[in-house]
Structure 1
């Protein structure tokens, strides 16, 4: 005999579906989708901003050129240079006199030695504009035409160079050294600074040439060359 189900009964039927609890994976998927939707307008705004052409900064203005007049090896030059151009670069790059060598470019090796207004200097440590109107002698100006100077001849006779890279500076320094000695200039090893030594000793020459480095180690022959010229003076 079948039983009639009371429609007003408060009992829950076992056949009534129960709400399923959301899984952890589905929750994470929903959260990721919501985050993507939220970030989409911001990403679009960023892309739109990147696509807009940026205003490029104007290039820095070039340093103005100024005329520098030099008498180099007895020949007049007028060079258009920046104020920061060293005398060494002016000689090599603008006057085309590459005999003067760039060694350390810090005033430590002496390869760039030239004679400026009668004084030997490291041309890498001075600006060309500082010598405007002055005279400069480089290794190209030591010879008289095809006739080598006495110190150049002595370097050859005494084999005072090997690779030759430091030789232009050595020659200019030795040339000025001989003039300084004849003028009575003392050195750090001169016994009596009030009187010129009767002759250039090896110690005098080494001290006076100490600003010029020879990486080949031809120092004894350099001393001999300078001493030979000084003895004839």
Structure 2
């Protein structure tokens, strides 16, 4: 599978003022670093990057970053967003050596939940407890996401990280044991709100007789 490609241009102007002007012009200030080359300041088109950022691969896949016609494999390492506007403020990319193992956080994707015993039962809610996991692998083995098969999920059951099948060439960055084996997905009965007993008021659930007694004091 070929890498996704994004295009950038080099930039010389740096500082808050230059970054502000770039954003007003619809560009994102960014930096690419790592490998044998020096860090390089770059800029990318906000609209195109915003569209790419809606996809899972943008956060956990090797991308081909083209800067002034030169292509280099990179990983997204940091994204700064505006606190309330749909605006990407800054991006950090790391150059990747395709022959060296990397540590990356990869999303966990729940699959086959609908066909499981828990998924077929009314009133049972399947919740995802762990959204991603850090793995070690060669760049060529890096998956876009790791699928967690819930086809055998029972009511009240839990799938732990140790039960997740990893793709070939991929291993967890952290060792699992009895004390550290986080839950990935849990099947629970949905909570049912208890109805107030007879004689209780809606506000606070305090019996009317007690409320009247309190007023007399």
Which TM-score bucket, shorter chain as reference?
under 0.3
Structure with the greater alpha carbon radius of gyration: 1
Q: Which has the higher strand share?
A: 2
User: Which one has the bigger helix percentage?
Assistant: 1
TM-score (structure 1 length as normaliser): 0.25
